[in-house]
Amino acid sequence: MTAADRADTPTAPGSRPAEEPASGLAEGLAERLPRLGEIYRDLHRHPELAFQEHRTAGIAAAELRALGWETSEGVGGTGVVGVLRNGDGPVLLLRADMDGLPVREATGLPYASTATGRDADGEQVPLMHACGHDVHVTCLLGAAERLTAHRDAWRGTVLAVLQPAEECGEGAEAMIADGFAERFPRPDVCLGQHVGPFPAGTAFTRPGAIMATSDSYRVRLFGRGGHGSSPEHTVDPVVMAAAVVLRLQTVVSREVPAGQTAVVTVGSIHAGSKENIIADEAELKLNIRTVDEGVRERVLAAVHRIVEAEAAASGAPKAPEFTPISTLPLTVNEPEATERVLAGLRAALGDGQVFTLPAPFTGSEDFGVFGNALGVPSVFWHFGGTDPAAFAGHHPASVQTGGFPPDVPTNHSPQYAPVPEPTLDAGVRMLLAVTAQWLAP
């Protein structure tokens, strides 16, 4: 963030810019918002897990088809691609992800989800749109509708990409593997947006890295089971796992330079069934975030070294087993295209509502797969979906330093629910104003 950005006194968060975006693509949006609100509440009530987004995809495809877009379904499993050709001009890819999460919703909203489903392991789980992907789908459909209505105000081709399975990091890859490059026009730029726990009406991005690389592993630690009363005849995997978890905390604090970014989280630990039985093995699930390839290699090597050494220190009968769960690539914004996106965001939200991030977020995304695979620039930005009133006295730019109110629920929380307004209005306006940066005649 530049000094100028820091010095900005934000206008009332969520307030409209004084002028309409130059392109006028958003004209008439106000009358469409009640309908978009209905779509949003319906999607929110019916979340679906990764690669199971049949209902969501069906709704998106029906909307695009009704607007007259060339619509393809089942791309990479449950993906949908809509194409609207409108004369010569650049080709823009606008992406929204569709999947929900295995979270039991606790928002208490009248349109809260009570749905359940089966996860990839066959377990019955509660379902929730806890990451706001329902907002992304709704905003993209809203933008598609206005682009159709205002064909005279732009030139080129727009690809609306409704991507499955972002949460497991496999959906974008699946669409690419399903012949995306051959089946659809090659975009000049890929654009995506994500809602987050910031004041509705604000947006954040930066040139260069914006989201971290994510590496996840399942680790099995092998012990030797036996009676809880005679541990001397066993190798206790619970103690081994405890030592591993604590020692892993030293990777970031002792092995990564202070100015570099890395996160090591043990998100799951399982062993044993009863107090007087020493288990045979323990299972850990690890997640590692980095924004630099050199740091990434160093952290992954340290994690492997520590897990193996702690197992050896415990006298494990067998070396630990590492199974990769997922890898999400670094999300990188192409600088020149980012300048255009920033201009579009400012046109949509107002100058004081748009912030250049000083450092990448440590969250991860598979959005970058499209730009990487198609060999074209891409830009990703974040925007607020939380009632601006919750941020009274907090500068929106403080999100990077954790300076926002602790009671504001974050993505993946059972309490996380963007306020439909002004979030949907802002989300559609941003897509349209950024589109106009490339496609205005």
Catalogue the active-site residues: 99, 166
CB of 363 to Zn ion, least distance (A): 7
428 lies in the site for Zn ion, by CB under 5 A: no
| Chain centroid offset of residue 426 CA | 18
Q: How many CB atoms lie within 10 A of CB 44?
A: 25
Question: Angle CA(193)–CA(199)–CA(200) in degrees, nearest 5?
Answer: 60
Please state, in angstroms and rounded to a whole number, the distance separating the CA atoms of residues 63 and 69: 9
Please state, in angstroms and rounded to a whole number, the distance separating the CA atoms of residues 321 and 304: 10
Please state, in angstroms and rounded to a whole number, the distance separating the CA atoms of residues 214 and 364: 6
Task: Please report, as residue ranges, which positions from 200 to 239 form the binding site for Zn ion (by CB under 5 A).
Answer: none
Please state, in angstroms and rounded to a whole number, the distance separating the CA atoms of residues 384 and 255: 34
Near Zn ion by CB under 5 A, which window of 125-133, 246-254, 288-296, 424-432?
Answer: 125-133
Task: Please report, as residue ranges, which positions from 236 to 295 form the binding site for Zn ion (by CB under 5 A).
Answer: none
CB of 194 to Zn ion, least distance (A): 6
Between 72 and 415, CB nearer to Zn ion: 415
CB of 195 to Zn ion, least distance (A): 8
| Chain centroid offset of residue 125 CA | 21
CB of 364 to Zn ion, least distance (A): 9
Between 134 and 334, CB nearer to Zn ion: 134
Near Zn ion by CB under 5 A, which window of 68-76, 129-137, 400-408, 425-433?
Answer: 129-137
Near Zn ion by CB under 5 A, which window of 131-139, 291-299, 372-380, 384-392?
Answer: 131-139
x/- letters, 41..70, toward Zn ion (CB under 5 A): ------------------------------
Residue in 131, 284, 302, 316 binding Zn ion, rule: CB under 5 A: 131
Between 146 and 289, CB nearer to Zn ion: 289
CB of 169 to Zn ion, least distance (A): 10
Q: Scanning the structure block, which residue is given the tokens 């809260």?
A: 112
Residues binding Zn ion: what is the number (CB under 5 A)? 1
Asked whether 135 and 197 are in contact (CB, 8 A), the reply is no
Between 14 and 132, CB nearer to Zn ion: 132
CB contact burial 146-159 (16+ within 10 A = b; e otherwise): bbbebeebbebbbb
Between 174 and 240, CB nearer to Zn ion: 174
Locate the DSSP E strands across 4-143: 70-75, 79-86, 91-97, 116-118, 124-126
Between 203 and 221, CB nearer to Zn ion: 203
Near Zn ion by CB under 5 A, which window of 124-132, 238-246, 311-319, 328-336?
Answer: 124-132
Alpha helical stretches, state H, 90-187:
133-149, 171-177, 180-183
CB of 374 to Zn ion, least distance (A): 21
Residue showing the smallest CB distance to Zn ion in the complex? 131
DSSP per-residue codes, 364-433:
--STHHHHHHHT--EEEEEEEEE-GGGGTT--GGGGGGT-S-TTS--TTSTT----HHHHHHHHHHHHHH
HSE-CB for 222 with a 13 A CA cutoff? 9
List of residues contacting Zn ion (CB under 5 A): 131
